[in-house]
Amino acid sequence: MDDMHMQHDMSGMNDEDMHMDGMMHMGNLRRKLWVSIALTIPIILLTPMMGMKLPFQLTFPGSDWVVLALGTILFFYGGTPFFFGARDELKTRKPAMMSLITMGISVAYIYSLYAVLANNLLHVHPHVMDFFWELATLIVIMLLGHRIEMNAVMNAGSAVDSLAKLLPSVAHRVVNEQVQDVAISDLKVDDHVSVRAGEQIPADGTVVSGSTNVDEAMVTGEAKRIEKQIDDPVIGGSVNGDGTFEMIITGTGETGYLAKVMDLVSKAQQSKSAQENMADKVAGTLFYAALTVAVVAFITWLLVGNLALALSVAVTVLIIACPHALGLAIPLVIARSTAIAARHGLLIRNRDAMERVHTLKYALMDKTGTLTAGNFKVQNYGSYSDELNNQQILALLAGLEQGSSHPLAVGVLTAAKEASVTPAVISNVKQLTGAGLQGEWQAKLLQLVSATYLDGQNLTYDKDQFDKLASAGNSVSYLVLDGTVIGFVAQGDELKPAAKTMIESLRAQEIEPVMLTGDNLQTAQLVAKQLGITEVHAQLLPQDKEALVKQYQQTGAVMMIGDGVNDAPSLARADIGVAIGSGTDVAVDSADVVLVRSDPHDVVDFLNLARKTTSKMTQNLWWGAGYNILAIPLAAGILAPLGFMLDPMVGAVLMSLSTVIVAVNAMTLRVR
């Protein structure tokens, strides 16, 4: 990835403003910086700063020519990135930081070249001051600023690449009852494919033989296995369970589920790249201001003085406009902020996200894996039979669920293990379509079913107890023996401990929490009620989530929090995308911020850090630009009628002081 291409990915500028596209790799920038520093050291030792001779400076016959040679190499070698950047900015008629830097170093070099020639060959009197010191330090500081900024932000992975990795490289195509291994790129719609136990499904399709359960968590973000029978659809990228089945391809290449999600991610990421950088805005204003003031000052002093004086004043104005402090104002804050974020379990992948926090109105969030842990746990179970106690009921539940990898089954088996209960021996266990499980125990029919099934069969159960358990967010199942309800089990997907605190904090900051989930509406509403969320959208596909993000964006800025592939387009589309670190690679790669610890409360830390970071950025921009705002008119001689002209040495001191202030201010950033 190109250095400046990377830089603009991080700063959020327009595509056409990627002024360093094609410049160099990170290693080349590092080398360019170190070579520039090596050239700068002798220049500083041999040349005065703004005309002020320093105690440690060296002079000898011909030293001016040595400085000219070193300065020329530095100008063309170290300044190349800024020339390309300025060219791209001017092409789009949007001069910004690169244009301002290029103007400063170009004026400094050309005038310094003239100064050497005038002093050594033309013997002009009085002595003409050169600006090699300013040229060298500006190039080094600007290269250092870019280096700091890029080091502060982790390399962004490719969301599209992560999606592609969900698909296997080989598929087992069945032709005339013979299995052939082929590349998935060779698959076509209507191909007959075999999928073995534990394999990733190579493309979208429909089951034509066999049955299995499929883990779609990597694709949908929902932590549960889905039973698949003949004629059921399967999604490419999901993981087959224990069974082997055969399928007919219904979608691959550009028509498959993942391909559609990839397209949504790509388009959403592109649409978010239109943000402008604050420092570039300030630099663009300073570019026009410095150029205008320099021209006006040149004409004015040419009329009231002479050409040499007018040229000297104009050049001083343009040199003083060089954005030393401004170039470090943002990168230093980013470096500090990113380091703090890392210590608090936050990975900031796009720093523009921080600048958008103050406009947030909505926080849209996925449920499973974001607000809940995705781990179902038995909350309650019991017996309705006089002949069976609670532990025996648990043994029967575990016997039916034994061998299943469904999250609800895992919850029951875990509870049995913790209670030291041995699963009962149940024979002929099979799926009860649309209802649950059934098997044989002591020559009797044993079933584990839902309340809906009981209602359909007119079987009696404690509905008040069901309402109480269901209203607490539990999934309630009933054990039925030969048509009589003998027991129950209630399981809940655990809320993450910090989820409720996060919701309360969002409301305190006047950010409205909204749940978006692919799960069923009843479960979603129960979880929302527990957390205090009033707006709920359930049973959503990826395109539905993205459409809702766009809908909410019509009335305010949106932050999206999620962890699954179905969240990826929404994460990319939102003004701020926050990914749960334990989620899928594609969700992480689509986000601006990653919660490494998967702790919802880290969202609150991010919001606090973002507001403080933005505040520090604004302060530093004022410090950095404030020097220019003050020094440019003084250098132009606005107070000359009062007998005051800005001494170049004073200008140099102010320039250095503003840089120090910017650095110190950045270091005072704290998250709390």
Residues designated catalytic = 366
What does the block give as tokens for 98?
Answer: 């690169």
CA end-to-end span of the chain: 35
For 397-447, what is the HEC assignment? Answer: HHHHHCCCCCHHHHHHHHHHHHCCCCCCCCEEEEEECCCEEEEEECCEEEE
Between CA 76 and CA 301 the distance in angstroms is 32
Sheet holding 178-183, edge to edge: 178-183, 170-175, 192-195, 245-251, 204-209, 233-234
Between CA 349 and CA 592 the distance in angstroms is 5
Instruction: Kindly tell me the sign of the dihedral angle through the C-alpha atoms of 49, 52, 58, 64.
Output: positive
Burial group, residue 435, by CB count within 10 angstroms (0-12, 13-18, 19+) = middle
Contacts of 149 (CB under 8 A, 6+ apart): 7, 10, 11, 330, 331, 334, 335
Q: How far from 382 is each of 386, 392, 420, CA to CA, in Å? A: 11, 9, 16
The dihedrals phi and psi of 350, each to the nearest 5 degrees, come to -140, 105
Sheet holding 576-580, edge to edge: 346-348, 593-595, 576-580, 557-562, 360-365, 512-516, 535-537
Q: How far from 400 is each of 385, 411, 479, CA to CA, in Å? A: 18, 13, 10
Q: Are 184 and 203 in contact (CB under 8 A)?
A: yes
| Three-state secondary structure call for residue 458 | coil
Contacts of 170 (CB under 8 A, 6+ apart): 181, 182, 183, 184, 202
Q: How far from 142 is each of 37, 148, 316, CA to CA, in Å? A: 12, 10, 20
Please provide the DSSP assignment of 256-275 as one string.
SHHHHHHHHHHHHHHHTTTP
Q: Are 103 and 82 in contact (CB under 8 A)?
A: no
